[in-house]
Amino acid sequence: MANYYTKAALEIKLELEQKIFALQVLECAEDEKVDFTKIRKSAHEAAYPSDVYRLAKKFVKSLVDYEPGSVYLPFEYADTGDSIHIAHDESINTEAAATFCHLILKHFDSDDYVCIEAAHTCSSPRTDGFGGHAAFITKKGVKWMSTGHWMHKNITRHKKAA
The per-residue pLDDT for 91 is: 86
Contact present, 54 and 36 (Cβ < 8 Å): no
Listing DSSP states for the chain in one string gives: ---EEEE-EEEEE--HHHHHHHHHHHHHHH-TT--TTSSSPPHHHHTS-HHHHHHHHHHHHHSTT--TT----SSEEEE-SSEEEEE-SS---HHHHHHHHHHHHHHTT----EEEEEEEEESS--TTS-EEEEEEEETTEEEEEEHHHHHHHHHHHHHHH-
Phi then psi dihedrals of residue 144, to 5 deg: -115, 150
Q: Residue 9's domain spans which residues?
A: 4-161
pLDDT of 64 strictly over 80: no
The per-residue pLDDT for 150 is: 93
Per-residue confidence band for 69, with pLDDT thresholds at 50, 70 and 90: confident
Proportion of the chain above pLDDT 90, given as a percent: 78
The per-residue pLDDT for 155 is: 94
Global pTM?
Answer: 0.91
The per-residue pLDDT for 70 is: 81
Q: What is the pLDDT of residues 79-97, one digit of tens each?
A: 999 999 999 988 899 999 9
Mean pLDDT of 1-14: 93
Contact present, 120 and 129 (Cβ < 8 Å): yes
Total structural domains in the chain? 1
Q: What is the pLDDT of residues 94-141, one digit of tens each?
A: 999 999 999 999 999 999 999 999 999 999 988 888 999 999 999 999
Per-residue confidence band for 68, with pLDDT thresholds at 50, 70 and 90: confident
Whole-number average pLDDT of the chain: 93
